Amino acid sequence: MADEKKRLTTASGKPYTENENSMTAGPRGPILLQDFILHEKMAHFNRERIPERVVHAKGSGAYGTFTVTHDITKYTKAKLFSEIGKQTKTFLRFSTVGGEKGSADTERDPRGFALKFYTEDGNWDLVGNNTPVFFIKDPKKFSDFIHTQKRDPRTNCKSATMMWDFWSLNPESMHQIMILFSDRGTPYSYRHMHGFGSHTFSMINSENERVFVKFHFKTQQKVKNFTDSEAARMKGMDADWAQRDLVEAIDAGNFPKWEMKIQVMTEEQTKTFRWNPFDLTKIWPQAEFPLIDVGLLELNQIPDNFFFDVEQAAFAPAHVVDGIGYSPDKMLQGRLLSYPDAQRYRLGANYEQLPVNRCPYATNNYQRDGKMRMDGNGGGVPNYFPNSFDNIEADQSYKEPAEKLDSIVADWYDRNAEGENDHYTQPGNLFRNVFTDEERTTQVNNFLGSLKHVSGPKRELILNRQLCHFFRTDPELGARIAEGLGIEIDASMFAHH
Ligand code: HEM
């Protein structure tokens, strides 16, 4: 094959000979308009960029295999879990969140962990992060939050003032910022971090019984993090460190692996759990809801072309498969419509037909036309439903069981009302019971490293407001940060709401 010569052609297939010199009137004269190949080259080049993802723009991806190792069919009828040993092809895209497509891989940021399973019942996308919780609990706040993580509109620089202003005004962020400012905010590489579905999802078994679940992916490479200064140094040495690490490991046959596990809560348990089980700022303690083994995910192939598969990949939390369902988690609900909307804008209406996104099994429906249709567009068969000609039918065995909701009163409820306002117990436990002495010191220093950049006329207001949240999380944490900032402690900061 390598010896077989290929002819140079235009995009329309015309062989041409001159790919280096433009046609001119005389050797030193102006260029002629009729050299359309020059124009074709330039015009295509001008259209190479597509919009980067509005968040998670910088990322890396690989194909892999998911293998079932344990039987969870008592919880779900999803076909990919139907028997031990069953394998499903997957595609995983890792990412940072706040930076642009060319930003550094070692920024302090959550990491995206977006996983596509190509199952016979359609593609299942689990679009998670390397953290089990998130900064906010209502999707209406997402764009405001992300604006604070991106660039200041005037200086065009990242701004600690915007970030801490937002966080201090949204105390539900406390749990996630505790993780973000630990060394888990700067993972060594994508191979050395856990993945989480983060939201509460549901599972439905063959008896049509529903339970609620959280998904976990535990790295077999072990968690390994950069310190703040190591991450900063790596930013200057190799902005693409995590991409390079992934490619080199997989190309060397050193395939990274994650153990998939679930936590399960019955519908009854959701009613008595002491926190809202659908609140994305809370975890389910593993002592009460132990991890249940499910399977093994292995990444084993770097795509040949980054743009083709990684940049054009489109994941959507709405894409679950039979046997897996949503939950009332407001953040999940908000994400259901947002992703396909973003992808129609970023990639075009027919983005589901791009090879990385296409379901490798059958898709049958009456969606037709649109820009860049590539799948034959249904050929000559009817484009309307119902009809008397084709044999496509709605299979009733895929119907989801009805769901009983708690309330039929539509209103705008305060997300942090009484009963929903414990922002401090879980992050406090993390600080007191999970972190070691050394990790507590690291955390305090990482916080101080960021807080000292808060500036401007509202500096004192923002710092004092945030300090109250630190004190309520843990008095030692509050005191150490106050000391580091040189702020006199006032007794009111200790008070719990
Ligand atoms: C209401 C809250 C959220 C909204 C509205 C939102 C919206 C978006 C949008 C529009 C994109 C770009 C999609 C694309 O162009 O392909 C995106 C990407 C992403 N989001 Fe979210 N997001 C939210 C919360 C979350 C949460 C809670 C997580 C994780 C638990 C998450 C994980 C991701 C990941 C991993 C990607 C990158 C997917 C990829 O690799 O292509 N997002 N988000």
- Which residue owns the Cα nearest ligand 1 atom 32? 128
Ligand 1, closest atom to CA 334? 1
pLDDT at 479 over 70: yes
Cα dihedral sign for 312, 313, 318, 320? positive
Which residue type occupies 281?
Answer: T
- Check whether residue 143 and residue 266 sit in a common domain: no
- Which residue owns the Cα nearest ligand 1 atom 6? 335
Ligand 1, closest atom to CA 346? 15
> Phi then psi for 209, rounded to 5 degrees?
-95, 140
Is residue 81, in this structure, part of any structural domain at all? yes
- Check whether residue 231 and residue 319 sit in a common domain: yes
Could you give the 3-state DSSP secondary structure of residue 429? helix
Specify the pLDDT at position 2: 61
Is residue 41, in this structure, part of any structural domain at all? no
Q: Ligand 1, residues 53, 194, 280: which to mutate, most atoms within 8 A of Cβ? A: 53
- Which residue owns the Cα nearest ligand 1 atom 9? 339
- Check whether residue 229 and residue 85 sit in a common domain: yes
Closest CA to 209 of 71, 401, 396, 79: 401
Could you give the 3-state DSSP secondary structure of residue 358? coil
- Check whether residue 193 and residue 317 sit in a common domain: yes
* Beta strands 201-204; 324-325: pairing state: antiparallel
Is residue 368, in this structure, part of any structural domain at all? no
In eight-state DSSP terms, residue 117 is E
Task: Looking at 9-141, list the stretches that DSSP marks H as alpha helix, in order from N- to C-terminal side.
Answer: 36-46
Distance CA 47, CA 144 (A): 30
Which residue type occupies 269?
Answer: Q
pLDDT tens across 374-432, in order?
999 999 999 999 999 999 999 999 999 999 888 999 999 999 999 999 999 999 999 99
- Check whether residue 262 and residue 127 sit in a common domain: yes
Closest CA to 427 of 132, 11, 64, 71: 132
Q: Which domain holds residue 473?
A: 137-169+424-497
In eight-state DSSP terms, residue 285 is P
Could you give the 3-state DSSP secondary structure of residue 332? helix
- More reliable by pLDDT, 184 or 496: 184
pLDDT tens across 183-234, in order?
999 999 999 999 999 999 999 999 999 999 999 999 999 999 999 999 999 9
The annotation status of 339 as a binding-site residue, yes or no, is: yes
Domain boundary pick from 353, 388, 416: 353
Specify the pLDDT at position 362: 86
> Phi then psi for 34, rounded to 5 degrees?
-70, -10
Tell me the β-bridge partners of 297: 66, 258
Binding pocket residue ranges, ligand 1, CB within 6 Å: 53-56, 59, 93, 95, 112, 114, 127-129, 134, 139, 142, 198, 313-315, 331, 334-335, 338-339, 342-343, 346
Cα dihedral sign for 433, 423, 494, 442? positive
- In DSSP notation, 364-399 reads -------TT--S-TTTTS--SSS-SS------GGGP
Rg of the Cα trace of the chain? 26
Closest CA to 302 of 94, 483, 482: 94
Which residue type occupies 384?
Answer: Y
- Check whether residue 103 and residue 223 sit in a common domain: yes
- Check whether residue 232 and residue 190 sit in a common domain: yes
| Segment 134-149 mean pLDDT | 98
Band of the pLDDT at 101, cuts 50, 70, 90? Answer: very high
Specify the pLDDT at position 3: 75
Q: Ligand 1: distance of its center to the CA of 315 in Å? A: 8
- Check whether residue 206 and residue 346 sit in a common domain: yes
Is residue 17, in this structure, part of any structural domain at all? no
CATH classification of the domain holding 157 = 1.20.1370.60
| Segment 273-293 mean pLDDT | 98
pLDDT tens across 311-368, in order?
999 999 999 999 999 999 999 999 999 999 999 999 999 999 999 999 999 899 999 9
- Check whether residue 158 and residue 75 sit in a common domain: no
- Which residue owns the Cα nearest ligand 1 atom 15? 53
Band of the pLDDT at 495, cuts 50, 70, 90? Answer: low
| Segment 438-450 mean pLDDT | 98
| Segment 101-109 mean pLDDT | 98
- Which residue owns the Cα nearest ligand 1 atom 1? 139
User: 30: exposed, middle or buried (C-beta count within 10 Å: 0-12, 13-18, 19+)?
Assistant: exposed
CA angle 424, 201, 135 (to 5 degrees): 30
Cβ-proximal residues to 466 (8 Å cutoff; 6+ apart), any chain: 164, 167, 168, 451
Domain boundary pick from 296, 320, 353: 353
Specify the pLDDT at position 366: 96
Query: In the chain, pLDDT over 70 holds for what percent of residues?
Result: 98
Is residue 164, in this structure, part of any structural domain at all? yes
Is residue 28, in this structure, part of any structural domain at all? no
| Segment 31-36 mean pLDDT | 96
Mean pLDDT of the chain: 96
- Check whether residue 188 and residue 253 sit in a common domain: yes
Q: Ligand 1, residues 338, 341, 354, 415: which to mutate, most atoms within 8 A of Cβ? A: 338
Domain boundary pick from 320, 336, 353: 353
- Which residue owns the Cα nearest ligand 1 atom 30? 128
**Residue 414 is encoded by which pair of tokens?**
């305060």
Distance CA 115, CA 93 (A): 7
pLDDT at 72 over 90: yes
- Check whether residue 244 and residue 258 sit in a common domain: yes
Q: Ligand 1: distance of its center to the CA of 53 in Å? A: 9
- Check whether residue 272 and residue 153 sit in a common domain: no
State the total domains in the chain. 2
| Segment 262-288 mean pLDDT | 97
Q: Which residues are tagged catalytic?
A: 56, 129
pLDDT at 497 over 60: no
> Phi then psi for 459, rounded to 5 degrees?
-50, -50
CATH classification of the domain holding 68 = 2.40.180.10
Q: Ligand 1: distance of its center to the CA of 339 in Å? A: 7
Is residue 88, in this structure, part of any structural domain at all? yes
Closest CA to 59 of 14, 11, 107: 107
Q: Ligand 1, residues 113, 127, 138: which to mutate, most atoms within 8 A of Cβ? A: 127
Is residue 434, in this structure, part of any structural domain at all? yes
Q: Ligand 1: distance of its center to the CA of 122 in Å? A: 20
Specify the pLDDT at position 493: 65
**Residue 291 is encoded by which pair of tokens?**
């991890």
